[in-house]
Amino acid sequence: MFSKVLVANRGEIAARISQTLRAMGIAPVAVYSEPDAGAPHVATAGQSVALSGSAAEETYLNIPAIVRAARDSGADAVHPGYGFLSENPEFARACADAGLSFIGPSPESMEALGDKLRSKDIAQRAGVPVVPSSAECLPGDSAAGEFADRLGFPLLVKAAAGGGGRGMRVVQGRRELDEAIESASREAQAAFGDGRVFLERYVANPRHVEFQVLADGFGHTIHLGERECSVQRRHQKIVEETPSPALTPELREHMGAAAVAVARAAGYVNAGTAEFLLDPRSGEFYFLEMNARLQVEHPITEAVRGLDMVEWQLRIASGEPLTLRQDDIQPRGHAIECRIYAEDPYRDFVPSTGALLRWRPPSGPGIRLDSGVAEGQEVSIYYDPMLAKLIAWAPRRDLSLRRMEVALSQFQALGVVTNIPLLRAVAAHPQFRSGNYDTGFLEWNPAVTRPVMSSDARAMARALAAWAAQQTTAQGQQSPATDGGRSASPWRSAGDLRLP
Amino acid sequence: MTQSHGEMQEIYPAEGEQYRYRLTEQDGSVTFHLDGDAAEGEDAAISLDIDSRETGEGVCRTESGRTFPFAWAWAFRQGQDPELHLWLGGELYVFRRSDPSTSSGRRRRGAARADASGDILAPMPGAVLEVLVSEGEQVERNQTVVVMESMKMELLITAPRNGVVSRVSVQPGQQVERGMRLLELAPEN
C-alpha cells in the first residue's frame, strides 16, 4: 500500500479522499490555488503544496506543477478525484513517467473509455446498445450539417472528453448548429483542455441511470448497482438516489451485466461508472459513456453497499485483488444525495459568489455531509459552484426522502445564495416521491424553481429582519441599546430624514 | 420598553416593496407593526418572543406557541449597500436598509427652513447638483428649488413658503457646508 498520496483536486472531493487516506494510515498531500489557501481541503490534509495562480488552467489543470508537487512532497501516488485532470490520460502518463502511481484506470483504457466516441464503439462491440451519434466535428465543419440532417433535430452537441454536462448543448435546428458547436467546443476546451465535440441523437425525457463498476488488475469485474440521476438542471445532476425506482430486478440484472461487459471489453481496471439512458416506457436502455473516475455521487453507493469506494480505488491501484464477489454485496436500504450549489434556483441558476457568512450543516441519523467549504470562506468565481453534498440513508425510500427533507430545512447557509430551497422542494414533490420522474423533471415542474412565500413566513421574515438589523449594525458590531430611534449610528432608525 | 422604527426593502427571494415599520420591544417580546401603504390590507402587527443568546442567531416564538430558529448576518459587496441575510425556516431572505441615510441613488424630499431673513439653508454638508430656479422667479411652497448630493443620496431642497427668489447664492458643482445659504426668498408681502 502507498505511504503518501497527493490529492490533485480541491473542494469536497479532496477533503473526502484525504479522510479515507488518513483512516488507512496513508499521509495525504493537498494542492491549492491562491484563492483556496484557506480552504478546508488544505487545512485538513496535514501537508500541502501551493500552486501559483487562480484559474484552473494555471493550477488544478497544470500537469507539470502537480507532478512536481507530488515528487517534491515525497508522495508515491496521486489521486485525481473527479473533474480537472481525473480523466486526462496525459496526466496519468506524466504521473507514471515520474514514478508515481495513478489511482485510476490505465492511460490506455482512459483514452478508449474517457473518449465518448471510442467508448461507444467498445460498447457496441460488446453487444451493448448505444444512442446513434456522429463522428467528431469541429467548429465550422461542413460535415457537421450532414451529420445533423442524418440524425435529425433536436440533437445534442457533446464534448468528447469529460462530462458533468459541460460542453453540452441541445440544438433545435440547423441555424443554431454552428454556434452550439463553437460554444460547446470552447467550454470543453476550458473545462477539460480538449475541445473536440460530436453530435448525438436527443432522446427526449429519458431517465438517466448509471452503474458503478469495480475491476481489479486480475480480470475480476463486478458492479455495485445503479444510481438514478434524472433530476438535472442544464444537464447537470442535482439529486441522485439508489436504488432507482425505475428498475425491476430483471432490468437491473441486464443493465449491470451490460456495464460489466463494457468494462471488460475495455480492459478496465479500478472504479468506473457506466452511464445509460433508460426509456422508462419501453424499458429499453442505451449505453452513453463510461466515466473513468470516481463519481460525484459515489456516496449513495457507499451508503447502501456499506463500503468505501476510495479505499477500494487505493487497494486496486496498489495491486491488491478485489475480494468482493458480485453476490456478496446486496444493497441495504435507500440513499439519496443532494448537491448543494452556490447558485440561484429562482434566477436561472446563476452562480452566486461572496463570503460564506454562516455555514451550519445539519446532522442526525443517516445523514452524511461531504463539504468543501467552511464558514467565513470566500466562494469565488474561479471554480465549480458546488459547495457540498448532503446524503441521507434510511431502510426505506420514503424514510430517506423524509430525512433529506428535514435535513435540508435545517441547513443554515448565509452570505451566498444556494439551491437548498429547490432541493427541498424536489425531495418533497409528489412526483419525485412517486418515483415516476425523468430528466424533464424541472421542466415539468417549473413551480419548484419559483420562490414560495406564505404571507405568514414573509411577515415573520420582515419582522425578524427589522429586529436583527437593530441588534447589529451593518459594520457587524453590536448596536448600542435601542433608544427610540435617535441613535447616532447612521445605520439605525430615523424613519425620515430630519432636517435642521 | 423601547421603541424604534425604520424602513427596509426585500431583495430576495423576490424583489419586494419597501416597508416602514415600528418595533416595540419589552423583555424579549417584540411587536412589529408595518406602517404606511404596505400595511394596508394586511394584518400589520406581529408579536414574537425572541431568544437570542449569541449574535447572529436566535429562536423566535409566535403567539400561537410555534418556535422557529433563525440566523442573520450582514453581507458586504463592493459598491453596494450592505445586505442583511436572514435564514428562517430553511429559506434565505435578503433585505436592505432603505433608511434615507443608508440608501444610495434615491431621492429624498425635505422642506428646507427659511430663516427670518428668507434664506434657504443647506440642511447638511454636500455638493450642489442642480439649481432649478433663477433670480426673480416666483416659487410655491414645496416646490423643488435645489438638488443636493449628500452621503451618496440626492436631496431635494424645497421652498418652505411661497415667494420670489431674490438671490441665488450657489452654483452646480459647488461644495456647501451645513447651514450655508443656498437661495434667498424675498420677504413676504
pLDDT in tens, B52-92: 988 899 999 999 999 999 999 999 887 778 999 999 999 99
Cα–Cα distance for residue pair A437/A442, rounded to 1 Å: 10
> Which residues, at least 6 apart from A440, have a Cβ–Cβ distance to it below 8 Å?
A204, A205
Q: Produce one character per residue of A19-40: b if its CB has 16 or more CB atoms within 10 Å, e if not.
A: ebbeeeebbbbbbbbebbeebb
| Residue B189 pLDDT | 57
User: Would an 8 Å CB–CB cutoff place A493 in contact with chain B?
Assistant: yes
For B50, which residue in chain A has the nearest alpha carbon? Answer: A464
| Residue A474 pLDDT | 63
- C-alpha distance from residue B4 to each of A485, A494, A498 (Å): 5, 8, 15
Confidence of residue B103 (pLDDT cuts 50, 70, 90): very low
Question: pLDDT (tens digit, 9 = 90+) per residue, A9-42?
Answer: 999 999 999 999 999 999 999 999 999 999 999 9
Helix (H, G, I), strand (E, B) or coil at A261: helix
Strand pairing class (A236-242; A221-233):
antiparallel
**pTM of the predicted model, to two decimals?**
0.80
Residue A369 pLDDT greater than 50, yes or no: yes
Q: At what angle do helices A298-305 and A309-317 cross, to 10 degrees?
A: 100
B contacts of A354 (beta carbons < 8 Å): 75, 77
Say which residue the cell 464503439 belongs to.
A121
Strand pairing class (B107-111; B153-158):
parallel
CA A240 to chain CA mean position, Å = 10
User: Would an 8 Å CB–CB cutoff place A424 in contact with chain B?
Assistant: yes
Is the C-alpha dihedral spanning A359, A33, A48, A77 positive or negative? positive
Question: pLDDT (tens digit, 9 = 90+) per residue, A189-243?
Answer: 888 788 889 999 888 889 999 999 999 999 999 999 999 999 999 889 999 999 9
Is the C-alpha dihedral spanning A111, A113, A118, A123 positive or negative? positive
> Do residues B141 and B157 touch, judged by C-beta distance below 8 A?
no
Residue A363 cell numbers, joined? 446532522
Residue A162 pLDDT greater than 70, yes or no: no
User: Nearest CA of chain B to the CA of A436: how many Å?
Assistant: 26
A contacts of B21 (beta carbons < 8 Å): 462-463, 466
B contacts of A387 (beta carbons < 8 Å): none
Identify which of A71-85, A190-204, A280-294, B134-148 has the greatest average pLDDT. A71-85
User: Would an 8 Å CB–CB cutoff place A174 in contact with chain B?
Assistant: no
Q: How many CB atoms lie within 10 A of CB A186?
A: 14
Q: What is the DSSP letter of A258?
A: H
Residue B101 pLDDT greater than 50, yes or no: no
Q: Which of A421, A459, A484 sits opposite B91 (nearest CB)?
A: A421
Portion of chain A with pLDDT greater than 90, in percent: 71
- At residue A218, φ and ψ (nearest 5 deg) are -115, 20
Confidence of residue A144 (pLDDT cuts 50, 70, 90): confident
Q: How many CB atoms lie within 10 A of CB A74?
A: 12
Helix (H) or strand (E) holding B164: strand B163-168
> Do residues B50 and B58 touch, judged by C-beta distance below 8 A?
yes
For A:360-419, CB contacts with B below 8 A are 360, 408-415, 417-418
> Which residues, at least 6 apart from A431, have a Cβ–Cβ distance to it below 8 Å?
A437, A441, A444, A445
Question: pLDDT (tens digit, 9 = 90+) per residue, A397-442?
Answer: 999 999 999 999 999 999 999 999 999 999 999 999 999 999 999 9
